[in-house]
Amino acid sequence: MSKSFSGDKIAILVANGFTEQDLTHTQRALQAKGANTRIIGMDQGVVNSWTGEAWGHHFAADCALNTALAADFDMLIIPGGRRSVEKLKLTAHTRRFLGGFIDAGKPVALFNDALELLIFSERAEGRVVAGPQDYSKAVKEAGATYCEDSCVVDGNLITGYDADVNQYIDAVIKHLADKPDMKEAA
């Protein structure tokens, strides 16, 4: 797991209400490996996280979703957070952006509630996914197989849910470290 992600551009898609811990721990772990992470927000400006039972910190968005292209990045990560997911579902740009990664075979990691965006993007069919139990019925109706494991890797799609975000991040980094070069998918 000593692979460096130096030069790899990783998009982190969020809207107001994303789970702060999902973003900060993931960003820190990937940057420690040399990755270039970029926060994609609904608009250029700041996005507000959610932590526990209250609003958290503000984070600067590096790019607005309506101008972001999957072709400009090597991987997509979408943190959980019910409020964030609901806002991201308000625009077709979410479907376009997420679909661009999946269609190109680039790695995509969806934390917790972000699993719902796979269904929203109409890319769930034939996939094996993990996520909160609340989504099992919707996942099956979308043609995917729901798995009760805390983390599932299906090709380049990584889905999961767990109270320990570090376990999920470790799975993401291990999966990426096992790939010879993320850029080959592009």
CB within 8 A of 180, min separation 6: which ones?
none
Per-residue pLDDT band at 179 (split at 50, 70, 90) = low
What average pLDDT does this structure show over 70-78? 96
**Distance (Å, whole) CA 27 – CA 38:** 9
pLDDT at residue 58 greater than cutoff 70 = yes
Residue 22, both tokens: 């999902």
DSSP secondary structure letter of residue 144? P
- Render pLDDT for 3-57 as a digit per residue (tens, 0 to 9): 678 889 999 999 999 999 999 999 999 999 999 999 999 998 999 999 989 999 9
Q: HSE-up of 63 (CA within 13 Å, CB side)?
A: 19
Q: Is the pLDDT of residue 120 over 90?
A: yes
pLDDT the model gives residue 180: 54
Section 136-157 average pLDDT: 93
* Whether the predicted model's global pTM rises above the 0.85 cut: yes
- Tell which CATH architecture fits domain 9-124: 3-Layer(aba) Sandwich (3.40)
- Residue boundaries of the structural domains of the chain: 9-124
**Average confidence score pLDDT of the chain:** 91
Of the listed ranges 161-165, 167-171, 176-180, the least confidently predicted one is 176-180
- With bands split at pLDDT 50, 70 and 90, how would you rate the model's confidence at 1? very low
Q: What value does the mean pLDDT take over residues 145-161? A: 91
Closest CA to 100 of 123, 134, 133: 123
